[in-house]
Structure 1
Amino acid sequence: MMASIKIKHLEQYQDRHGRLRIYYRNKTSGKPRIPLRGPVGSPEFWEDYQNASHGIIETKPAYQRSQSGTIRWLIEQYYQNPAFKELKQGTRAMRRNILENFSKKHGTKRYAQLLPRHLRKIRDEKADTPEAANNMIKAIRQVFKYAVNYDYMDDNPARNIEKLKPKNRTGFHAWTIEEVQKFEDTHPIGTKARLAFALLLYTGQRRGDIVTMGRQHVKNRWMKFTQQKTGKAMEIPVLNELERIINNSKTGDLTYLITAYGKPHTPNGFGTWFRKVCNKAGLPHCSAHGIRKAAAARLAELGCTTLEIMSITGHTTLAEVERYTKSAQQKQLAESVRQRIDGQK
């Protein structure tokens, strides 16, 4: 059935071995065609297709067999191990991207000769982006952990590499009330952008979860689903405002949010699209994850306890949520002081 649907810039053919080859090719751009994962219509296909159409992925060089004993060879062995294969899909994709970038620069080096001081130097080269530097070391640490477990190495050179201090200790920017209003003024009820925003704000979930949500998950105004990142089963109430926005929006059959091709979003594809609608609202510094933070902070300011917030957002550690409750308590205490002082005048 999928073969009968015409998809712009899609090329398909069978090679001499009988394997189906799928490519994105925009003839007017002058760029080489980009291979896509199949089958056509699968989530992997649509993720690659959307990335290719937005210029996020480029053509890959011809495969060359890596030399035994090199960092590149070790990374490839790690890819085949359950330690990598059993990661959540999103985590696996992110880690592969980090390791591929590391391999481009350091893949031909001998892994047995890599020492902690070498990794510190590589880390320090990325000091302008400390979060990226820390994520790189985290990924490399797992590769060498695998190497030690399977007797390729005696010690893990990344084990005790210190983290760089993040420039922004609070992480993603949490949306303010004014920013929420600005987004809603730009994207009224009935638009896809407003529906996506409402799902993020009124459920407090990650983008990887809201792209899977649909009417089949709701019964008696309760939504049941499993978080993609944690595998945690969730059951949260559907708030009145969210229900109103869903009922006044165009949705898909199985998911509330669909692409221009009528298919569910992938998390990465959604992130690319949501970045654009934030920019359109004049909010380039705001993100989908920042809405999750704003949702948690909003619950804290309403007086919800740490455990109550965790029951909605699905945070797995107290420390994550206590940041919001402590901030709300500080604001409430400061307001109490202000009222006392103003009351004396």
Structure 2
Amino acid sequence: MAKPPRLKYVKHVRAKGKLYAYFNTGERKDGKVIYAPLPRPSSPEFFVAYGRMKAKREKRAGYSLAAACQAYEESTDFVGKADSTKKLYRYALRTIEDALGRFPINDLRRDDIQRVLDHGLPSASAHNIFLAVLGLVYRHARRQGKTELNPVRDFDKIKGGSHEPWPAPVLEAALVSEHDRTRLAAHLLYFTGQRIGDVCKMQWSDVRGDEIFVTQQKTGKKLWIPMLAELRAELDRTPKRGMTILTREGGHPMTDQVIRKELKAHGAAMGVEVVPHGLRKNAVISLLEAGCSVAETAAITGQTYRIVEQYAAQIDQRRMGRAAIVKLETKRKRENG
């Protein structure tokens, strides 16, 4: 009995004395490769069908995840979203492209995604928005007939702790929010690095020249915090309705529960779970990344050196890691001419 010709993507099966051919589509369902039946190998239709399936598979295999990200960004679904949401989604899309963009869209596997989640994302909120946007990219690609995969299906969101920093687009959106109290609270929390209880108790009389005076409730520390121009400008545009800077209707002092609720609503509108205390960590990270020493950073936030040093160690590791890769790339280019 003659052997069937060896063809790319084709497997042959003999059953009850007959030869059957199946085409490996390159797609999977429930982890199993999907094979499509071909006409009988002896029939004239066999090579016509094989050529059509092969061309379709190879055309699809050339469609990268980076191309899928671009297609989603140009879609009506993306374009119709709020500007703040688009800014956050673009941030996630660039992360997807950098980490996974080279993959053909049908070749991405769960372990590829898991490696990014384990080593490439700084926080729970970044984890969740990465998965959400990757899921939207694949949904759009499925609607366009580019894939049948849904590689994020079995991943769960993770709960963020009280110290998770806000993703940069969510922070920047809060600083320009059209909701006056959200915008003011974000400025005070981020640019002073204080806890929400201390921020809610800040009074106009605490603003002295270019500084804000704070007595921390938790530690009793007394701090003179110099104001950035952005915070100064925000205070200048804020009407003085009462003794405290943050007020309710009628100028009464604001409770931290209301601010928590409003800031969480801001994050939720952008698809991210955030808490006010996250802005305290944003402040520490920004100060350290700007080149401030541990002592200088602690002078603003009132934290112990030990706590600030923990943040500094993480930042130094990332900075040194980037420097190491730059040196390795330079060495490789030199060796390869």
When normalised by structure 2's length, the TM-score is 0.48
- Rg larger for: 2
TM-score of the pair, normalised by structure 1: 0.47
